[in-house]
Amino acid sequence: MPYYRSVGEVPRKRHTQFRQPDGTLYAEELVGQEGFSSDSSLLYHRHAPTAILAAEEFAPPTVTRVPNLPLKPRHLRTHKLDGTGADPVLGRQYLLANDDVRIAYVLADRPSPLFRDATGDHCLYLESGSMRVESPFGVLDAVAGDYVVIPTSTIHRLVPTGDEPTRLLAVEAAGHIGPPKRYLSVRGQFLEHSPYCERDVRGPDTPLLVDGEEVEVLVRHRRGWTRYVYANHPFDVVGWDGHLYPWAFSIHDFEPITGRIHQPPPVHQTFQGPNFVICSFVPRKVDYHPAAIPVPYNHHNVDSDEMLFYTGGNYEARRGSGIEQGSISLHPSGFTHGPQPGAAERSIGADFFDELAVMVDTFRPLDLCDAGTACEDDGYAWTWARKP
């Protein structure tokens, strides 16, 4: 995250003696990206964060990928995946994936295990419900409409809260996720033309200070998964400072960029990752040229697959196609896509769109995973051929 935070107790100078009340040293831990050459944070533990008692290979749920063949647009109905509930890490049902990103959905009603993903950052979007994100950095509370970014290798636990289960879209990167570079200064400050800024971003405010012994942590790494038993609970941090930590941002704080004629998807960009972007479509005033057509024009993105998760309101360009709350559309590179028949004419004269959606555009093809195939609407590809 592009700004500095200091939480709890830290010494005035880094890498100097910082002692506990009994005179022993706190254990300093540097969490950093790109081998000491990028953002980092310093954490101060009561116990050694390196002390493990056991390690064994762990077999996670399998994920099968198949190419999008025959090449065609797809419609996935995530609410068809509803079951009895699951935990928000191991219960994820994977929909789409490539070597850069995996996209999953989960209806969660119980806490996850302690988990660390050493392969990349996560961006979690809460469709509904609420959740507490616990980590060595402290607690971060999230509600419907929040994005939560969890940096690579952060041990964390996701705890659904409230009376209803938490519906969660998980975007798992093979690298780092952050704000678009064009919205940041050379020193990492949000610029004036950015659709959100530091005031909209939330991070943990107080340490958790959990004490405990012999706790299990699941770790996904580049060779598979391992279950560790740590000698002490990793949330024993008394203080930390730096630029790297879990953070949250509400889609409702995204300020839409509008114009006299239809604005292209890059104005909705909210995050960037390795070979993909995440965009937010929010309620907004639409095109005000007297001859404007507010819905998108037909377009053929030759370099990217476009995935759109519909999470509220009414999406005018897709009316009549069966799109509903929780739907995901996939419009692949190699296929021209656009509004449903009649949508362009119906949109003329509209001055406001009440829509809420999260888009993931990838620059390598997305494969279909087991859960994506299981909840597909097989008739979606042919809806453009229907008469309005």
Residue 57 clears pLDDT 80, i.e. is over it: yes
pLDDT of residue 61: 84
Residue 121 clears pLDDT 80, i.e. is over it: yes
Domain tally for the chain?
2
Stretch 81-102: mean pLDDT: 92
- pLDDT tens track for 152-165: 999 999 999 988 88
Same-domain check for residues 186 and 274: no
Same-domain check for residues 217 and 342: no
pLDDT of residue 201: 97
**Percent of residues, the chain, with pLDDT higher than 70:** 97
Q: pLDDT band for position 346 (50/70/90)?
A: confident
Same-domain check for residues 39 and 175: yes
Same-domain check for residues 238 and 226: yes
Out of 223, 251, 279, pick the residue that ends a domain. 251
CATH code of residue 282: 2.60.120.10
pLDDT of residue 272: 97
Out of 201, 221, 251, pick the residue that ends a domain. 251
CA distance 168 to 128: 7
Q: What is the value of pTM for the model shown? A: 0.95
Stretch 335-339: mean pLDDT: 87
Domain assignment of residue 55, yes or no: yes
Q: pLDDT band for position 301 (50/70/90)?
A: confident
Residue 79 falls in the annotated catalytic set: no
| Catalytic residue from among 47, 252, 262, 300 | 262
Same-domain check for residues 95 and 233: yes
Domain assignment of residue 18, yes or no: no
Residue 388 clears pLDDT 80, i.e. is over it: no
Structural domain boundaries, residue 323 = 255-385
Residue 176 annotated as binding site: no
Same-domain check for residues 53 and 152: yes
Q: pLDDT band for position 322 (50/70/90)?
A: confident
Same-domain check for residues 232 and 283: no
Q: pLDDT band for position 317 (50/70/90)?
A: low
Residue 299 annotated as binding site: yes
Same-domain check for residues 284 and 381: yes
- pLDDT tens track for 202-218: 999 999 999 888 999 99
Q: 227 near 218, Cβ under 8 Å?
A: yes
Residue 51 clears pLDDT 90, i.e. is over it: yes
- pLDDT tens track for 163-201: 888 999 999 999 999 999 999 999 999 999 999 999 999
Domain assignment of residue 8, yes or no: no
Domain assignment of residue 202, yes or no: yes
- pLDDT tens track for 237-250: 999 999 999 999 99
Residue 47 annotated as binding site: no
Domain assignment of residue 51, yes or no: yes
Same-domain check for residues 229 and 273: no
pLDDT of residue 315: 74
From the list 335, 281, 286, 285, the residue with the least C-alpha distance to 310 is: 281
Task: Please enumerate in sequence order all residues whose Cβ is within 8 A of that of 272, keeping only pairs 6 or more positions apart, or say none.
Answer: 177, 178, 179, 180, 181, 278
Domain assignment of residue 273, yes or no: yes
Residue 387 clears pLDDT 70, i.e. is over it: no
Same-domain check for residues 243 and 314: no
Same-domain check for residues 195 and 132: yes
Q: pLDDT band for position 254 (50/70/90)?
A: very high
Q: Of 83-97, 109-123, 293-307, give the range with the top mean pLDDT.
A: 109-123
pLDDT of residue 320: 62
Mean pLDDT of the chain, nearest integer: 94
Same-domain check for residues 129 and 278: no
Domain assignment of residue 70, yes or no: no
Domain assignment of residue 96, yes or no: yes
From the list 196, 186, 236, the residue with the least C-alpha distance to 47 is: 236
Least trusted range by pLDDT, from 101-115, 122-136, 157-171, 328-342: 328-342
Residue 147 annotated as binding site: no
Out of 251, 278, 303, pick the residue that ends a domain. 251
